[in-house]
Chain A
Amino acid sequence: MSGRTNTLNRGAFAAALCLLIAGATVARADETWDSLKKQNFGDRAIQAEDGVVILDAPATAEDAAIVPLTIRVPPSVTQNLKSLYLIIDKNPGPVVAKVTFGPAAGTGGERKFSTRVRVDNFSHVRAVLETEDGTLHMASKFIAAAGGCAAMQPKDPDTENEGLGKLLVKTFPPALSTTPLFDAQVMIKHPNHNGMQLDVNTAKFIPARFVNGMTVKRDGELVFSMESSFSLSTNPNIRFSFGRGKDNALDVAVTDTDGTVFKAQTQPSGS
């Protein structure tokens, strides 16, 4: 008997708890989204799971502080993209990021946008994409954040501010010179303090300081600009596709809530 109970693993537990919570709060979850929807999109219609946008996310957050999310727009969608909202219903500050795409975002293949987020609770995660024709498309996933928000604590508080502002930008040229889209990655060393972490030595909250904006340009033209919240993981990491240009040199500017601006460029490549 105890043997059987002992085989209960965390996955099963998380699933069970997830069911319980899902069952008990279906109505509330819907209310949460209804109000978020109203706040951000008014009365506009949103087409859910219509295949225009796809969200890849783990069903269970192994580390709730670093949950990888990837948003993909399949090649069959050929329109330009206007904007992308990333929303985690149950997070404090549910709108994780608002991305506005520019002319250098590109077309002609699978377009991608990835980042890592903190998930505070069992929650729906949503990607709402606006295409050029002004229609809204949504993909969503339910994530069991088994670690809860304990993971919000840095593993080593004494080193988390080391190298703050270090900004790395990489481009990954496609294998063929005819492929119309490039991949790139922006990494910034930043603790992304959400203002909810207690410094037990001083018994005060560590002041919020997080990355709240990013602009990426290719050869001077906008790929995207992003407004973000403290729901981005520590050391924010953004991976994205952009349209092939002449030099494919990227200019990146990142701002944080202290008003500090961090800048970096890549050299021309793969043109």
Chain B
Amino acid sequence: MAGENDKFGAMAKQTLPSRSDVLLGGLALLTLSFLRLGPVRADDAAQVKEIAPGVCVHQGRYELQSAANQGDMSNAGFVVGRDAVAVIDTSGSAIMGRRLRAAIRQVTDKPIRYVINTHMHPDHVFGNAAFKEDDPTFVGHYKLARGLMSRSEQYLAASKAMMGAETVEGIEVIPPTLAVQDKTTLDLGGRALILEAQPTAHTDNDLIVTDTATNTVFLGDLLFSVHVPTLDGSIRGWLELINQLKERNAARVVPGHGPHAMELPEAVAAEERYLSTIAKGVRALIEQGKTLEDATRTVGIFERDDWKMFDQYHVRNVTAAFAELEWE
């Protein structure tokens, strides 16, 4: 649940045109005009930006899922190697998955060999079904299947309630067929992706994906920017992982929610400040014998203007942090 009915996506943020932007320019403009006029057509290619050679990212909106945004509320990307393509997250509906696939097909005809999910949340996995026709290997953290399958009914019900029966049509819960226990390397032909399973942080099944050719690191929801972080794992684990991320050598990182690409260590600064503020505030109240309700009313409220979706997730974050930290 929770970070789970997540939401997303911002179409408006246009930056300098890259190669794929130029390639897709005409269609992108068309897409944009449709967006302005009304719902997106299912067969429109998703807008993607090439952030490094052969690495493209679609930016999701900063929203809850709805019929209007069709579950387009998290970042999704793909990497093109000499022989094959790997997709990294598939957005929040089969419609969005098909739009992402259409964007890939505008860039390359190479087979889509891998569909990697950075974690279990529906806004990152509910587009998986769109890739079934490619018969790919679905890849995720070894705990992803358990987390997703035990929540799938609720995820499906929430998506249906939020987006409507028509928009959720085609969504299937597809768990990984390749489970990453620790570290795994995938080969796209002269291009290796390194997959690293993480200890409990944003969820208990976060996976980091590194494209070695460009040293681009897909952090999934271990990195939120603009969109307030959502805590569905462990605040202590997440802060510990952020400390490691700051030391990491990466040419660029891709957040699960936020701009197409960012740079370390600045990328994690806001998220670290937010989570530390919560941890510190909650610990202080616990120390003073205050209650969970006290915490939800006061902790971190000055962060409100710095984030989108704050009202939707902040109280839940504080609640989760309190329930965890009161047992320290």
Contact = CB atoms under 8 A, between A and B. Distances in A.
Interaction A to B: yes
Interface of A: 1-2, 5-6, 8-11, 13, 17, 56, 62-66, 68, 70, 114, 116, 147-151, 153, 155-159, 163, 166, 170, 172, 183, 185, 187, 189, 197-198, 200-201, 233-235, 237, 239
Contacts of A147: 1-2, 5, 316
B188 to A, nearest CB: 30
Interface of B: 1-2, 4-5, 35-39, 61, 63-64, 66-69, 143, 145-147, 149-151, 154-155, 157-158, 161-162, 200, 203-204, 232-234, 289, 291-293, 296, 311-312, 315-316, 319-320, 323, 326-327
A63 B228 CA distance: 16
Query: Secondary structure at chain B's binding surface: helix, strand, loop or mixed?
Result: helix
Contact of A1 (B37, B289, B312, B320): B37
A148 B316 contact: no
A9 B316 contact: no
B145 A68 contact: no
Contact of B68 (A6, A65, A157): A6
B54 to A, nearest CB: 32
A156 B1 contact: no
Contacts of A65: 1
B279 to A, nearest CB: 16
Given A63-B2, A150-B155, A155-B320, A172 B289 contact: yes
A4 to B, nearest CB: 9
Given A9-B311, A150-B154, A63 B204 contact: no
A191 B234 CA distance: 16
Contact of B293 (A1, A68, A170, A233): A68
Given A2-B35, A150-B4, A150-B155, A17 B161 contact: yes
A114 B66 contact: no
Nearest to B69: A6
